[in-house]
Structure 1
């Protein structure tokens, strides 16, 4: 009966489901005061409220047989009905695909897709909180002892605890996988198409064959913004398409999306550096290193520091290009642990790649 009630309640929740209204990706427009993050569908709150009620009543019976029947059933309904409904909506109703080749998906479709991503993330977090409040303690041993009053016979308390944990991990595994797939969809359909023109504009008319006269002029002209024009262009373009997404997505989901986007940016940036073979001189190499550093700083701003690790190959490429001859000769003779010890860094470039990087410089 509990399973039927819960399944019918989930079905009803989606029939009455409502999404936040008036959300926008336009950074110049404020989000409605009535909508507060995290932005999720109403079905999440409704379903998780019912989960909490059914779970508490089940645990309060003090009967192992009831727990053995109801708790796995709740997990199955969450993993099939609730999860399946969100998955179908993401696939059939809100998949962010452009109507015209080369264009971006409609804004309302992107927002709906992001809200469903949030719904999965928040639902998982809600379930963890419900189970944590039911257990009431942090360690498995203490939790089993806490259940001992209601389930005093044999290993009943341990059985109940395991049933709750299995429900939590099973649901989290499914939602995490779907969120990962959704991140890849966002990267492919939204972030990559926006990033390509940003990089084109960032390096527009930038020359790394710098003469001494040009370098002196740039240093003497204190009012000129040419010195950091690349990083400014990139930061302006990067923020234009990442910050609107950030204010819609939950922090955990945005971190996953940012990590994937930064990884793609790092790979694209590395290809661009390699493309400058024979088009960089000594003064231009200094400018290139400064530009790459500025782009990295802008991309990871506001994110985890570990995001910088994605750019390790890029930063090492420009580092090798800018080495003095005697420093390069010393590094070039070392390998493995000796190289890491002498340079103080873990090298992502192998010996052949370091030599190729050095050859980028026009002598």
Structure 2
């Protein structure tokens, strides 16, 4: 075992602890042997070193001689390293500054380029509009081409959308260019077709060169359907005489049937491809999901004069994943065009089928036909066709997508609503009615009556549920101002009473009492005056924008088929029907209901005062353009009293003095003879019941001239 332990013969492995632990004589002897060998080797190594001592000392002397030089070199190296580190830091700092300058320079250059591009875009758009107004189509097309060549990032950028629109052309650049291209394409197409018909080579060449400049993208699928329908129409026109000549009248209907079957097949391919490329099914599914998603309130900025304030709007949770409205707009436009072309084709086929079916009935039923002539009814023939079914399916999708487009566009218009300084209305009014106009005209362009009716209902619903509610919420702000005025006045009054009690030990004419009362009074006067100014301005804007435009139509509707030159039967008929009063009440009840329900009593009465002033002004103009006889004047007096009673039941404030002019007009119209005017006209010495007349002498003569029983010369000779 000792042998295995010491087989290495290495003395370095023999530690003092191991030696002390030895008890076996053999192991002790082996260790001694190993140590002797190690001692001998150490002696040999020492002898070798001693022999080289002189050489080593000489080498050490040389190194010692180099010590001063190495010290100097070390110091120099340290100084050099310090210099290099300083230079490196400076270089790194300068390099970082250079890189920052390069970055800033590149950004400045990009900004300059973007500004120049936006200036170019604005120049092109302004030039394009001017050229189109002057009918300089070459210049307009060149401007459109220059604008279209700009980077799409510039065209769609936020900077261009804010910088390019103006009060004259408020649309974003992409919308302006798109509308201009469509307008120019329509003009070029008409002029080119006219030139072809007139064989005008100059205009043919002229407009042929202009088409590429506007680079309008064709509605490929609508055009493909159009070509299919045109080819079918050409086949029918070309082969109808041949079939009728050789097979007899009415036999063309079998050809029409086969052509319609082929049309169904080919149109199915076109429309299915259209749906796949436009991802129509996915969009419809997304919109259905959007409509079923619970909505939440979010805060959106409402900007006023460049500054923003927060307002509430409602958004679904997954709005970020919804299709873009611009993309949907393009799909809807092509859908409308597809519907239009299909309905033109249906009308063409309907007329041909109808004429052929009538010819079959005249000639009797042909036994060679598999169907009865009754089966070739134009309505059933087309309504059962594959094309008609597919168009109906697309129109149903059109309703859903168009309604989403309309609602989403209205939401966006409200979200970005802003009031430019100096404008009396905010931007959402123009934006909303531009969107409504676009959707309505697109629905009309489908040539589908059901589509038009449905879209009108959708537009009405959107106005009632989206647009009116937005303004209804804003009416609350007017109420807040009105109630705030009351609260401020009440607060100031309570503070004055409390201050009087607190300062009771002091006489009322004491300087401190006067100072406190003056300060508290200024709280009421200053704040209330400012609030009332803003409130009055808001109520006036509300009246001008929403109420005033509806007064004239209501008055016109009330006066529909109403006249004041009546015989006995007509008078009694109007007396029993009372159509004017009924229409008037219905019209103004409908107009005023939302304001009655929403506004405070004070604000509502203020609106009613504005309404009454404008209504009476319009009514007076209407009356002064109407002819009367005695029965008609009596009927007008009753209508006037009905209107006065209507407003008396709906207003808390006294207003009857506002009817003074119309009451005086009614008084003059109801005179039995011209001489009776002296019983009323206060300026006459014969007057027994003088009144203050609001009508001038000229106006009084004009009113008397409205009575057909009073001669013009007699009216002119009245001395007033």
Answer yes or no: same fold by TM over 0.5: yes
Contact 1:151/1:157, CA 8 A, preserved across alignment: yes
| 2:598 aligned with 1:248 | yes
1:100 aligned partner? 433
Quote how far apart the aligned CAs of 1:109 are. 2.9
Q: Counterparts of 1:118-197 in structure 2 under 5 Å?
A: 118-136=479-497, 144=500, 146-149=502-505, 154-197=510-553
Return closer, same or farther for 1:153/1:262 CA change in 2, 3 Å cut-off.
closer
- Cα distance between partner residues in 2 of 1:148 and 1:351: 62
- Cα distance between partner residues in 2 of 1:333 and 1:254: 37
Return closer, same or farther for 1:355/1:182 CA change in 2, 3 Å cut-off.
same
Quote how far apart the aligned CAs of 1:194 are. 2.1
- Cα distance between partner residues in 2 of 1:216 and 1:123: 53
* 1:1-30 Cα deviation digits (max 9, x unpaired): xxxxxxxxxxxxxx99998x9xxxxxxxxx
Return closer, same or farther for 1:118/1:238 CA change in 2, 3 Å cut-off.
same
2:624 aligned partner? 274
- Cα distance between partner residues in 1 of 2:681 and 2:309: 69
Return closer, same or farther for 1:271/1:16 CA change in 2, 3 Å cut-off.
closer
Quote how far apart the aligned CAs of 1:132 are. 1.8
1:116 aligned partner? 477
Quote how far apart the aligned CAs of 1:215 are. 3.2
2:63 aligned partner? none
- Which segment is superposed worse, 346-355 or 173-182? 346-355
| 2:708 aligned with 1:352 | no
Quote how far apart the aligned CAs of 1:93 are. 10
Quote how far apart the aligned CAs of 1:127 are. 1.5
- Which segment is superposed worse, 106-115 or 203-212? 106-115
Quote how far apart the aligned CAs of 1:180 are. 1.1
Quote how far apart the aligned CAs of 1:329 are. 4.2
2:188 aligned partner? none
2:103 aligned partner? none
- Structure 1: which 5+ runs fail to align? 1-14, 22-86, 138-142
Contact 1:96/1:113, CA 8 A, preserved across alignment: no
Contact 2:681/2:693, CA 8 A, preserved across alignment: no
- Cα distance between partner residues in 2 of 1:178 and 1:338: 51
- Cα distance between partner residues in 1 of 2:509 and 2:628: 77
- Cα distance between partner residues in 2 of 1:170 and 1:96: 33
Contact 2:564/2:632, CA 8 A, preserved across alignment: yes
Contact 1:231/1:298, CA 8 A, preserved across alignment: no
Contact 1:238/1:299, CA 8 A, preserved across alignment: no
| 2:588 aligned with 1:238 | yes
- Secondary structure, aligned partner of 1:204: coil
- Cα distance between partner residues in 2 of 1:130 and 1:300: 33
Contact 1:231/1:291, CA 8 A, preserved across alignment: yes
Contact 2:629/2:707, CA 8 A, preserved across alignment: yes
1:27 aligned partner? none
2:671 aligned partner? 323
| 2:292 aligned with 1:292 | no
1:214 aligned partner? 570
Quote how far apart the aligned CAs of 1:149 are. 4.5
- Cα distance between partner residues in 2 of 1:361 and 1:93: 44
Return closer, same or farther for 1:93/1:322 CA change in 2, 3 Å cut-off.
closer
Quote how far apart the aligned CAs of 1:307 are. 1.3
Quote how far apart the aligned CAs of 1:294 are. 1.3
1:202 aligned partner? 558
1:342 aligned partner? 689
Residues paired across the two proteins, number: 268
* 1:214-250 Cα deviation digits (max 9, x unpaired): 335667xxxx42xx21111101111111122012111
- Cα distance between partner residues in 1 of 2:519 and 2:550: 45
| 2:620 aligned with 1:264 | no
- Secondary structure, aligned partner of 1:206: coil
- Cα distance between partner residues in 1 of 2:428 and 2:540: 11
Return closer, same or farther for 1:201/1:358 CA change in 2, 3 Å cut-off.
same
Structure number with the higher helix fraction is: 2
- Cα distance between partner residues in 1 of 2:537 and 2:686: 41
Across the aligned residues of Structure 1 and Structure 2, the Cα RMSD in angstroms comes to 3.7
- Secondary structure, aligned partner of 1:242: helix
Return closer, same or farther for 1:92/1:150 CA change in 2, 3 Å cut-off.
farther
Contact 2:488/2:524, CA 8 A, preserved across alignment: yes
Return closer, same or farther for 1:235/1:217 CA change in 2, 3 Å cut-off.
closer
Q: Counterparts of 1:223-234 in structure 2 under 5 Å?
A: 224-225=576-577, 228-234=578-584
* 1:100-140 Cα deviation digits (max 9, x unpaired): 27998921232122111111111121122222222227xxx
Quote how far apart the aligned CAs of 1:152 are. 10
* 1:145-183 Cα deviation digits (max 9, x unpaired): 652449999511210111011111001111111111111
Q: Counterparts of 1:32-111 in structure 2 under 5 Å?
A: 97=429, 99-100=432-433, 106-111=467-472
1:40 aligned partner? none
